[in-house]
Chain A
Amino acid sequence: MSATQPATETVTLTVDGREITVPKGTPLVVAAAEQAGVEIPVFCYEPRLGPPIGACRMCLVEIEGAPKLQAACTLSCTDGMVVKTAETSEQAKDAQDGVLEFMLLNHPLDCPVCDKGGECPLQDLTFRYGPGNTRMTIPKRTYEKPLPISPSIVLDRERCILCYRCTRFSGDVAEDGELVARERGAQSVIATFAEQPYANAFSGNVTELCPVGALLPTAYRFKARPWEIVNVPTVCTGCATGCNTWATLRENKVERILSRNHPDVDDGWLCDKGRFARFEPRDERIATPLVREQTGLTAAAWDDALRTVGQRLRHHSSLAGPGGVAIVTGGSLTNEEALGWKAISDSLAARTASAPVAAAADWESLAAYAASLVAVDDADAVVVIGDQEPADRAGTLDLRIRKARRAGAHLAIVGPGGTSLERDAKSFISTLPGAGSAVLAALTAAVVEAGGEHVRSDAPTAGSLESLATAAGAEVGQLRELAGALTAAQRPVLIVTDAVDTADIARLAWALGLDRRAGGVLPLPVGANERGERAVGLVGGWDEVLPALEAGTIKAIVLVGCDPVLESADGERWQLALAQTEAVISVAAFTNGVTSQSQIVLPLDVEHERDGTVMNLEGRVQRVRPSLAPVSGVPQIEWTSRLAGFIEVTTPASPLKAFTALAESNPAFAGLSWTEAGDRAELQRERPAAERPAAGKPAKPAKAPEKGAFRLVAPRPLFSGAAVERTASLAHQRAGIVVLARADAERLGIARGAQVVVRHAAGEHVGTAQLSRRLLPGTVRINWRGAAGTGSTAVVGAQ
C-alpha cells in the first residue's frame, strides 16, 4: 500500500519536554521510544496481534488536557499533544508503580526456578520500574500447575498476568479460537476451548508472546538458564518460507527455537514444525558411511566409501554415457553443498533432478511476475489455487494470508474444498481435485473475456471458457466473477499450491498483466531449498528421472536427502525402479525406504549442522548457521569435495569459498554478500520483462474413479518428514484426519469424530472424520505422511 499512498502526513508532539515529529497515527508507545528515547513500559501491546487493547495499563501517561491518565498504547500521536510519562509525571509514576504492584500481587515470584527468568519482560520491568517491595498481607491466588494445554506447551496460571496476548494470537492471528479466557475478574484464567488440546499449527508462538513464564514449551522446561545458552541466528529449513530463527544451544544440543523476526519473511511467527521438530535422537542418525555387505549395511571408512562411490559413478557414467548416472536431490541441501553435487554431475554428464515435477519448478519463467511474501500484506486480492493448503507448503504464509484478509483483501480459494482458509474467504470456487492446471487455463480465458486496464487480450487460451471450466469442474459464473475481481484489483497475489506447469501460471499472469502491477505470483516449492538447488544448476524433476530409471538407461543413481518412495506420488514405481537399478547410493539422515535399497549410504547433514545459504520461495538468499558439528564429524560440503576429488573434479570444501564461487559465476547469486545474507537478508529482485508465453494445453484432472470409490486429495501435510515423525510432542499434529463431504458422510453413516479408514495406492490411512460443507462430494481429503497423489482413487470406510 505504501507505494500508492501519498507522502505521509506528520505531526509534532512533546514527550517529556522533548519535541518529536512522527508520521500521523503512530502509536504513542512506539513514537516515544523511537523518537524521544523514552521507554514506556507495556505488556499487552503487540502490534502484530491487531489493534491495541489497553488491558495491562502499564503504559499510563499524562496527556495535557485529558482528565485522567491515558494508556499510551491505545493513543495515536496527534499534533500538539503534550505527553508526560512516568519519567516526568508524578501521577503517571504512581500509577505505573501501582499497576506493577497489582501484577505482582498474585505472581509467585518464583524467578529462580522459572524458565523465563533472565529473559522475562515482567522481571525486567519489575527491576526497572517496580516499587521493590510488597504491601500485600493477603494470601496469593493458587492454581494447579503446570497444566499441559497441548503436548508441546504447559501453562502456569499463577505466573500469568492476563495480558491476553496469547488469546489474541489464537483468536485474531491464527484465528483458531482454541485459546480463551475463562471466568472473570480475579478468577480469570487462560484455558483451552472446551478443554481440548491447543492443536493449532502455530501454537508455539504463544510461548514467545507470553511476557512471563506462564506459557512455556514443554521441551524446554528446566532445560537451561539464560546465562548458559548461546542463541545462534539461523534460518528454518523446514519448508521454503525461510523463517528467521534463533537456535538456543546448550551443551552441544539445540534445546529451543525462537523467532528472529524478519518482518518481510515471517512477521515474527514460526509454525510448530519449525519450532519443535528435531532430527533426534542423534544416536539414531546415520553417522558414518555405510556399505552394503552380505550381512547388511556396515560402517565403512570415509575414504573407502567415497572412493567406491567415485569409482562406481565413473564406471557407470563411462559405460552408459551421458545420462547414465542421476543425481537426485529434493531441496534439502544448502546452495554451497549443491554446488559440489553440481560439479560432480557435470563431470559425469549426469542427469539431475531437484523437484518432484520438473515443469512445476521452472521458477525463472515466472520471474517477471514474481511477488514477495510481504506483497501478500499489501494485496487487495489473494487467490489460492490448488488442492493444498498454503500452510502445507509454506507454514507461516497461512498467517500472512489471514492478515491480508483481515486488512480487507479479497480472499478467494479455488480448489476441491475442505481446507481451513475457506471459512472466512470472500469467495470459494469448487473444482475437481488435481485440476490446478485446468483452473488456470479456465481463469486465463475468463480474464481475457473480462478485459480491463491491465489485461492482455493476446494471452494464449487453450479453448473456450465453458469447455475449460467443465474440465476443471468449476462453474463458469464463479470463474467470471473471480476474473472480474482479479482484473479490477490493483495488487493481486496469486498463490498456486500444487505442482502445476509453471507455463500454465505464466499464461494467466501474462493475461492479468501481473508484471505491470504490484502483487504477482508467489510460487510454492516443495523442498525447502528447491529453488536454490535449481539456481545452482541441479535442474530437472523426479518425474523425468523415473521413466529413464524404469527403462534402465540410468545405471547409477545418487539420492541426496530425498526419498521419492515416500515423497512422490509415484512411490510404488520408484520402489520397483530402484530395486532394478545397478547402483543406488543415498545420502540420508535416518534409514528410510531409499537407504534400504542402497548399496552405499552416506550421512546427511541436517539443520543446525550446516553452514551456508538457502534460497526461499521468493528467491531470497539467507544464511543458515551451524550450532552443532555434523553427526558424522565431517561436514557434507567437505566430504562432497573429497568425493569430487575421486571423480577428478575440484569443488570448494568450505561454505564461504563455495558461496564466493556462486556469487562470482552464477547470475542468480551475483552481487550477494555473505554477511548480508546472514542478517535479515534483503530480497534481491529485479523483474525481467515479461514475454508472451507459448500456448499450451492444460493437464487434465484424473479420471473419475470407479463407482463407489473416492477421488483422493492427499497433499503432503506440513507436519510430515523425518524430524516431525521423530518428535513426540508433535504426534498430535500428525494425528490422522479424514475430511469428507457432509453428503458422503451421511450416505456412509460416518459421524463427525468417527474413526475412518481410507485405502489408497500408497497405503492405508486411519483418521478422525471431519465433515466439510464445501469439500466436493465424492472426494476425500487426508493428511497422509507422504505424497499419495491427488485425484487418484481411494476407498473410504468406517473403521
Chain B
Amino acid sequence: MPEGPTFAEPAATALLLPFAGSRRELAEYETHGGYGSLRKAVGMSSQELVDEMIASNLRGRGGAGFPAGRKASFLAQAEPRYLVINADESEPGTFKDREIILRNPHALIEGVLIYLWMIRGAAAYIYIRGEYAKEASILEGAIAQARERGYVGAPLLGTDYVPEIVVHRGAGAYICGEETALLSSLNGDRGQPTAKPPFPAVSGAFKRPTLLNNVETVATVPTIIGMGGAAYAGVGTEQSTGTKLFSLSGHVQRPGNYEMPLSATYRDLIEVVGGGLPEGRSLKCFVPGGSSMPVLMPEQLDTGLAFEAVVAAGSMAGSGAVIVIDERTCMVRFALRTAEFYMHESCGKCTPCREGTRWIVELLRRMEAGLGSSEEIDLLLNICDRVEGNCLCVLGDACAMPVRSHIRNFRAEFEEHVTLGRCPCPDDAPMAELYPPLLRAPLPMVTV
C-alpha cells in the first residue's frame, strides 16, 4: 500500500461524525460536549462569528465548494432574513447528509442555531428530500428535544433572540436541490430554477434575504466554533480545510460514509478505508464526486480529495460521492443509466436541458441496442457540448459531463457497440451494484 500523505488514524480525524455509534439523543450529544459551541457562539457578535467562519476557510459541502464564510457575509441586511438548509440530497451516489441526520442530528441543529444567531434569522427551514421520510422524522424528533430543552422556540440562552426551525419535506424532485429551485418549491411555486440575479442572499425564501447552506456545511459549524477557525483550517489542505464526508459506493469491499481529512487521497479512501475492490477485480475508473462528474482513471488514484486537486485532475469533487467501477462494467450502459437519471429529473424549464437530455438518452439507448453509428457517437459529443454551459442551471451540465467523459475515456467501447451491433458486455455486467434500476421502462409519454 502506498503511503498516504497525511491520512492517519480515522478516529483521530472524526470531527463531524462520531467514529462509531450514533448520538441521536440530545442527552448523549450533550455528554460529548454538544451545544457547547452554541453557548460559546451566543457570547460572540455576528461579525466575530463570520470572521471565525472566514478564518476556518470552510468550503461549502453541497458540491460547489464556495467558501461558507464569504457566503454568509453576502447576506443582505434587510429584515426579516431566513436560513435555509439544503437537505435535498439527491445526487446519485451521495448519502452523506443522511448519515449526519441519522447519527448526529444535533450537530446539524446546533449548527443551525449558531447560523441563526449569526444572521439573527427569523427562522430556519430545513428542506429535506421527500424520500427521506425516516430521516425527516428523526430530525423532527431531535428538534422536539431541542425545543424541550429550550434551544428552539424560546429566548436563546439568556438572550432575547428566539430561534425557530421548520422541517419542510420536498416532493421528490432532484432539481429542488438546486438553490433557486429549492426556494421556488419552498415558496409554494413549481420547483424550477430561476435566473440569477436576484440571488437568494437578496431575494430567497418568501422573497426575503436568505442564506442557504448544505447540511454538512452547517453541521460542521459547531466544530469550527468549538475548536476555532484557525485550528480547523489546520486540518486538510490550505485551500480545502477540515474533514469531509465521502459516500463510497460501487465495486468496493467496504462501501459506506467515511469522514476524511481533505489532505487524504482517493487511494486512501478506496483502498485503505474502503478495503479496495473485491478479490480478483480491477479498477476501470471511479467517479470522484457524484454521478454528474467526469470519471477519473486508475492512474489518477493518488489524486487528493481536496477540491483543487480534483479540479487539477480534470473533474470536480462535487458532493463527495465516490463510485468505484470495476473492469466488467459496460460504460455505454453506465452512461445511459446516468443520463436517464438526469433526463428523468430535468425540470423542463429551459430548452437545452429539457430536449438535450432526452436526445442524449435516446441516442445512448440506440447505441446500447447496437443501433447507433460512429457518426452518432460524434453527434452525442456535439449534443453534450451544446447542452453544457447553455442551460439555466447546471442540471444539463450534470447530464452532459459524465456522458462526454465516458465517451472520451472509453471511446473504443462505444465504437465496439456500434460495430458489433450489440452490447459486447455480458448481460450480468454489474449495473445493479452501481445504481439500482429505476428507469427500465421506455420513455413514458404523457397523453391526456
User: Which residues of A are interface residues toward B (Cβ below 8 A)?
Assistant: 51-58, 60, 68-69, 71, 74, 94-95, 97-99, 101-103, 105-106, 135-138, 141-144, 147, 161-162, 164, 180-189, 191
Contact = CB atoms under 8 A, between A and B. Distances in A.
A130 to B, nearest CB: 14
Given A68-B389, A99-B352, A185-B345, 16 more contacts: A60-B390, A69-B390, A98-B386, A99-B351, A101-B386, A103-B355, A141-B445, A143-B447, A162-B348, A181-B348, A182-B446, A185-B348, A186-B343, A186-B348, A186-B358, A186-B443
B355 A138 contact: no
A94 B363 CA distance: 21
B354 A185 contact: yes
Given A57-B350, A69-B390, A102 B173 contact: no
Contacts of B349: 53, 55, 162, 164
Contacts of A162: 348-349, 351, 354
In this complex, which of B346, B347, B359 has the most chain A Cβ atoms within 10 angstroms of its Cβ?
A: B359
Contacts of A101: 386
Contacts of A55: 349-351, 392
Interface string B342-384: 0111111111111111110011001000000000100100010
B447 A136 contact: no
B344 to A, nearest CB: 7
Contact of B190 (A68, A147, A181, A186): A181
A106 B346 CA distance: 16
B347 A102 contact: no
A104 to B, nearest CB: 9
A187 B351 contact: no
5 contacts: A54-B392, A55-B349, A69-B390, A184-B175, A185-B346
B195 interface: yes
Contacts of B445: 141-143, 187
Given A71-B195, A143-B447, A186 B351 contact: no
B405 to A, nearest CB: 18
A662 B202 CA distance: 57
B347 A184 contact: yes
B448 A184 contact: no
B358 A185 contact: yes
A97 B344 CA distance: 25
A98 B390 contact: yes
A184 B390 contact: no
A74 B389 contact: no
A189 B349 CA distance: 11
B391 interface: yes
B448 A98 contact: no
Contacts of A189: 446, 448
A51 B196 CA distance: 11
Interface string B168-197: 000001010000000000000010001100
Contacts of B190: 180-181
A144 B347 contact: no
B444 interface: yes
Nearest to B191: A184
A194 to B, nearest CB: 12
A162 B357 CA distance: 15
Contact of A57 (B347, B362, B392): B392
A161 B349 CA distance: 10
Contacts of B358: 105, 185-186
Contacts of A102: 351-352, 354-356, 359, 386
B379 A186 contact: no
A135 B387 CA distance: 15
A106 B444 contact: no
Nearest to A141: B445
B164 to A, nearest CB: 26
A553 to B, nearest CB: 64
B390 A135 contact: no
Given A94-B386, A185-B345, A138 B351 contact: no
A69 B343 CA distance: 22
A654 B386 CA distance: 62
B448 A105 contact: no
Contacts of A141: 445
A272 to B, nearest CB: 24
B252 to A, nearest CB: 31
A155 to B, nearest CB: 10
B348 A144 contact: no
Given A71-B195, A185-B346, A186-B358, A56 B351 contact: yes
B355 A105 contact: yes
A1 to B, nearest CB: 20
A187 to B, nearest CB: 5
B343 to A, nearest CB: 6
A198 B343 CA distance: 30
Contacts of B446: 143, 182-183, 187, 189
Contact of A99 (B195, B379, B390): B390
Given A95-B386, A144-B447, A187 B348 contact: yes
Nearest to A91: B389
A449 B61 CA distance: 60
Nearest to B356: A102
A65 to B, nearest CB: 15
Contacts of B366: 137-138
A103 B353 CA distance: 11
Nearest to B365: A138
Contact of A184 (B348, B362, B363): B348
B130 to A, nearest CB: 14
B195 A135 contact: no
Contacts of B390: 57, 60, 68-69, 95, 98-99
Contacts of A57: 350-352, 390-392
A513 B194 CA distance: 43
Contacts of B386: 94-95, 97-99, 101-102
A268 B346 CA distance: 33
A187 B444 contact: yes
A186 B361 CA distance: 11
B447 A186 contact: no
B62 to A, nearest CB: 19
Given A98-B390, A105-B359, A137 B354 contact: no
Contacts of B175: 184
A69 B350 CA distance: 14
A74 B392 CA distance: 11
A191 B448 contact: yes
Nearest to A99: B351
A68 B366 CA distance: 31
Contact of B379 (A94, A135, A161): A135
Contacts of B351: 55-58, 99, 102-103, 161-162
B352 A183 contact: no
Nearest to B196: A74
Contacts of A105: 355, 358-359
A28 to B, nearest CB: 13
In this complex, which of B351, B357, B383, B385 has the most chain A Cβ atoms within 10 angstroms of its Cβ?
A: B351
A188 B348 contact: yes
Smallest CB-CB A-B distances: 10 pairs: A188-B348, A98-B386, A185-B346, A102-B355, A186-B358, A54-B195, A138-B362, A68-B389, A74-B195, A184-B348
B382 to A, nearest CB: 8
A41 B443 CA distance: 32
A308 B11 CA distance: 111
Contacts of A69: 389-390
Given A68-B389, A138-B366, A144-B447, A186 B354 contact: yes
Contacts of B444: 187
A475 B356 CA distance: 60
Contacts of A136: 359
Given A102-B355, A143-B447, A187-B446, A54 B350 contact: yes
B361 to A, nearest CB: 9
A468 B261 CA distance: 77
Interface in B429-447: 443-447
A162 B349 CA distance: 7
B399 to A, nearest CB: 10
